[in-house]
């Protein structure tokens, strides 16, 4: 069986966890600050706040900027559903915007068309790690409409000379096992805005500000055990990304002309959270891969095809990406032979 994903965890992470056990401090200890400092450096921002998941990061980002009932937030029609769910859970309205099936990211023109007087923010996703066209998105919205980043799959990615996670007012990362840096479950919010960072720290920790609680909050903390794992992973970010680039090149070389392979704009660095190709007869390809003992999956979801978001549309770009997207096995235990096996199934289709 060739697996879809396999987190790269080893002795270093195990030793880091053992050290936390030894310290006796499992939460709110020094490993949180250490991980946060590493994340801030990696994303080239002043502040990073570690939280319990990427979804928690997105939820706090939306809450911290005061989004609530009556507000609209633009979200891609093709994304992991958490991007839209957090907007709805904050009492606001997620407004779906179509994507370009080639980049799988929101189309700036579609964003411009979807803006109303109620629009407070755009939750921009760098899908599968492909950096979104930031300047075009900034130009697409009036002043006062915030750009927030769902950079869940984009740690290490760069838009030109800027790190993903530093582009928006707030950036949101995930450390789910299918992301490049994993803590099992985990996430973080990144920002250069000190006041928002303090608000997010408070919201993460029940709403406490010192001994007072000016407003209610949640418990979205990430324990020291997981932060220690994250720090070990983060120290290897460059190597992990280089390894993914090597695997992606190996796939792309074999699959050029067979399927549409992932790409990014010139000058960008793709985060390669996943290796998602586009092809006709996607479901047949899925069946053939499974039959050959190879795990594979759809890319991600077209939200307007889920009951929770079914009233919006049409979104031909999201439909095309949803119907044609296929995530291939992508982790550094894959051998050249494995890649050859996967590619031959697709070539023989």
Ligand X SMILES: *Cc1c(COP(=O)(O)O)cnc(C)c1O
Query: Site size for ligand X, by CB under 6 A?
Result: 14
Nearest to 109 by CA among 317, 278, 276, 265: 317
Q: Which of 43, 53, 262, 320 binds ligand X (CB under 6 A)?
A: 53
The contact mask relative to ligand X for 116-145 (x = CB under 6 A, - = no) is: ---------x--------------------
Q: How far is the CB of 298 from ligand X (least distance, A)?
A: 13
- Smallest separation (angstroms) from ligand X to the CB of 82: 4
Distance of alpha carbon 98 from the chain centroid: 18
Contact present, 79 and 104 (Cβ < 8 Å): no
Among 7, 187, 223, 299, binds ligand X (CB under 6 A): 187
152 makes contact with ligand X (CB under 6 A): yes
Q: CB 288 → ligand X: shortest distance, Å?
A: 26
- 54 part of the interface to ligand X, by CB under 6 A: yes
Q: Does 322 bind ligand X (CB under 6 A)?
A: no
The Cα 333–Cα 280 span in angstroms is 28
What tokens does 56 get?
């928690």
262 binds ligand X (CB under 6 A): no
- Candidate ranges 148-156, 163-171, 204-212, 236-244; the one touching ligand X (CB under 6 A): 148-156
Which position among 153, 230, 317, 329 is part of the footprint of ligand X (CB under 6 A)?
Answer: 153
- Chain center to CA of 302: 16
Q: Is 82 in the site for ligand X (CB under 6 A)?
A: yes
Question: Could you say whether residue 189 binds ligand X (CB under 6 A)?
Answer: no
Taking CB under 6 A as the rule, does residue 320 contact ligand X? no
Q: Based on CB atoms, which residue is closest to ligand X, 315 or 343?
A: 315
- Closest approach of Cβ 152 to ligand X, in Å? 3
Applying CB under 6 A, which of residues 174, 183, 191, 233 lies at the interface with ligand X? 174
Beta strand 187-191 with 170-174 is: antiparallel
The residue from 176, 201, 204, 282 that contacts ligand X (CB under 6 A) is 176
Candidate list 159, 176, 179, 269, residue with the active-site label: 179
Active site residue 31: no
Interacting span for ligand X (CB under 6 A) from 77-85, 108-116, 138-146, 249-257: 77-85
190 binds ligand X per the rule CB under 6 A: no
Copy the structure tokens of residue 285.
């390809």
Nearer to ligand X, 84 or 247 (CB): 84
* Nearest by Cα to 263 from 105, 123, 57, 40: 105
Nearer to ligand X, 108 or 171 (CB): 171
Q: Is 103 in the site for ligand X (CB under 6 A)?
A: no
Bridge partner residues of 95 (DSSP): 74
For position 150 contacting ligand X by CB under 6 A, the verdict is yes
Report the residue number, 38 or 54, with the smaller CB distance to ligand X: 54
318-333 core/surface letters (b: 16 or more CB in 10 A; e: else)? bbbbbbbbbbbbbbee
Question: In the set 55, 166, 232, 261, which binds ligand X (CB under 6 A)?
Answer: 55
Q: Which residues sit at the interface with ligand X, rule CB under 6 A? A: 53-55, 79-80, 82-83, 125, 150, 152-153, 174, 176, 187
Residues annotated as part of the active site = 179
């Amino acid at each position: 069986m060739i697996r879809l994903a396999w987190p790269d965890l080893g002795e270093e992470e195990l030793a880091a966890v053992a050290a936390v056990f030894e310290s006796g401090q499992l939460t709110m200890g020094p490993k949180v600050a250490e991980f946060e400092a590493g994340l801030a450096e990696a994303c080239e921002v002043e502040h990073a706040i570690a939280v319990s998941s990427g979804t928690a990061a997105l939820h706090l980002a939306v809450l911290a900027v005061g989004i609530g009932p009556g507000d609209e937030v633009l979200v891609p029609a093709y994304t992991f559903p958490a991007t839209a769910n957090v907007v709805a859970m904050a009492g606001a309205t997620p407004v779906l915007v179509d994507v370009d099936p080639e980049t799988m990211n929101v189309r700036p023109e579609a964003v411009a068309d979807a803006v109303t007087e109620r629009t407070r923010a755009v939750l921009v996703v760098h899908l599968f790690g492909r950096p979104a066209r930031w300047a075009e998105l900034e130009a697409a919205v009036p002043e006062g409409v915030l750009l927030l980043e769902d950079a869940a799959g984009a740690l290490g990615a760069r838009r030109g000379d800027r790190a993903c996670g530093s582009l928006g007012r707030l950036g949101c990362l995930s450390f789910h096992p299918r992301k490049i840096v994993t803590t099992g479950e985990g996430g973080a919010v990144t920002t250069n805005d000190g006041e928002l960072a303090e608000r997010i720290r408070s919201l993460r920790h029940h709403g406490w500000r010192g001994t007072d609680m000016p407003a209610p909050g949640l418990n979205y903390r990430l324990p020291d055990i997981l932060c220690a794992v994250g720090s070990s992973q983060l120290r290897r970010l460059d190597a992990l990304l280089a390894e993914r680039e090597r695997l992606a090149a190996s796939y792309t070389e074999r699959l050029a002309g067979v399927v549409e392979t992932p790409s990014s704009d010139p000058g960008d660095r793709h985060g390669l959270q996943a290796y998602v190709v586009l092809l006709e007869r996607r479901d047949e390809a899925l069946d053939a891969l499974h039959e050959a003992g190879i795990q594979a999956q759809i890319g991600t979801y077209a939200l307007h095809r889920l009951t929770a978001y079914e009233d919006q549309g049409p979104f031909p770009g999201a439909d095309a990406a949803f119907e044609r997207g296929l995530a291939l096995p992508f982790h550094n235990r894959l051998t050249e032979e494995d890649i050859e096996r996967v590619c031959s199934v697709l070539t023989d289709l």
